[in-house]
């Protein structure tokens, strides 16, 4: 589902880079902490951790080799390493990290319950395990601007909230963390403005998108794709001229402590 780093960066990496510092603030990292970035992708979270904290070691792990290669080219900080690996079977000893974080990843891990148990296993007692996912309730304009347009041209389009394993709500994330046996669980909504200078800046990345939007796009003929483009343009600009606009993005973050 994910492999082409440049396409991911254009579509989502630009927003996960903006979300990552808010997630780091929510989780809290102490000087000298060792931190695992599970499902690191192209390295947005690891980059924010390196920039914002005095963590002693930051490890990014992801099964997508193309993403790991790209991430390695982005960060030249000796505290940061990237490795190909699977969050369902983490290649680390028990209690290796002070913080284990996963940004925008849990929806994409086939056996997410197993992955959360693995995240807890590799985290020290009293350490923190945390994740964040985009809100899937419709309050996240970054997500809903596409799926509302998709539903307008195809009433059977499921939208992201109807997909398997959607953890884009406070309840779903809280339940997942309770199921992982974590304690002192806290959940918070995180919002951020996404500034765009033209409609094409929003639309063009969808032409190479991966994940659920990419799968939906791949099933469209050229005519239907044009209808989707027009429906989306109407959603964000109405009948007005092209130009700058802002979408409000919303995510949910959860943190819990290992007992």
Ligand X SMILES: C[S@@+](CC[C@H](N)C(=O)[O-])C[C@H]1O[C@@H](n2cnc3c(N)ncnc32)[C@H](O)[C@@H]1O
- For ligand X, the binding residues (CB under 6 A) are 2, 12-13, 16, 38-42, 44-45, 62-64, 67, 86-88, 103-105, 108-109
Closest approach of ligand X to the CB of residue 11, in Å: 9
- Three-state DSSP string of 41-95: CCCHHHHHHHHHCCCCEEEEEECCHHHHHHHHHHCCCCCEEEEECCHHHCCCCCC
Phi, psi of 14 (to 5 degrees): -60, -30
Nearer Cβ to ligand X, position 128 or 212? 212
Vertex 26 angle, CA 193 and 136, to 5°:
50
Q: Helix (H, G, I), strand (E, B), or coil: what is residue 190?
A: strand
Nearer Cβ to ligand X, position 167 or 177? 167
Nearer Cβ to ligand X, position 67 or 177? 67
| CB 72 within 8 Å of CB 82 | yes
Closest approach of ligand X to the CB of residue 13, in Å: 5
Closest approach of ligand X to the CB of residue 45, in Å: 6
Query: Hunting for tokens 């005095």 — which residue is that?
Result: 54
Closest approach of ligand X to the CB of residue 230, in Å: 27
The DSSP element (H or E) to which 255 belongs, if any, is strand 245-257
Phi, psi of 229 (to 5 degrees): -60, -45
Closest approach of ligand X to the CB of residue 64, in Å: 4
Nearer Cβ to ligand X, position 64 or 202? 64
Question: 245 forms bridges with which residues in the sheet?
Answer: 196
Residue nearest to ligand X (CB): 41
Question: 233 forms bridges with which residues in the sheet?
Answer: none
Nearer Cβ to ligand X, position 12 or 254? 12
Closest approach of ligand X to the CB of residue 53, in Å: 17
Nearer Cβ to ligand X, position 87 or 228? 87
- Alpha-helix residue ranges (DSSP H) falling in 91-191: 112-121, 141-153, 170-179
């Amino acid at each position: 589902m994910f492999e082409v780093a440049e396409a991911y960066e254009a579509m989502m990496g630009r927003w996960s880079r903006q979300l990552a510092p808010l997630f780091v603030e929510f989780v809290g990292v102490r000087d000298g902490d060792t931190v695992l970035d599970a499902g690191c992708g192209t390295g947005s979270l690891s980059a924010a951790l390196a920039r914002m904290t005095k963590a002693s070691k930051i490890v990014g792990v992801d099964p997508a080799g193309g993403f790991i290669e790209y991430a390695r080219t982005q960060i030249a900080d000796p505290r940061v390493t990237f490795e190909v690996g699977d969050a369902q079977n983490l290649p680390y000893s028990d209690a290796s990290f002070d913080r284990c974080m996963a940004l925008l990843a849990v929806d994409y891990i086939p056996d997410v319950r197993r992955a959360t148990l693995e995240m807890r296993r590799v985290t020290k007692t009293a350490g923190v395990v945390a994740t964040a996912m985009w809100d899937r309730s419709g309050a996240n304009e970054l997500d809903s601007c596409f799926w509302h347009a998709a539903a307008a041209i195809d009433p059977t389009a499921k939208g992201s909230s109807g997909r398997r394993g959607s953890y884009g709500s406070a309840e779903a994330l809280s339940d997942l963390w309770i199921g992982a046996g974590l304690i002192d669980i806290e959940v918070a909504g995180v919002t951020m403005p996404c500034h765009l200078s033209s409609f094409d800046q929003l639309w063009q990345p969808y032409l190479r998108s991966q994940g659920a939007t990419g799968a939906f796009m791949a099933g469209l003929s050229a005519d239907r794709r044009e209808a989707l483009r027009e429906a989306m343009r109407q959603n964000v600009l109405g009948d007005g001229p092209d130009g700058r606009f802002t979408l409000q993005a919303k995510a949910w973050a959860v943190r819990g402590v290992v007992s």
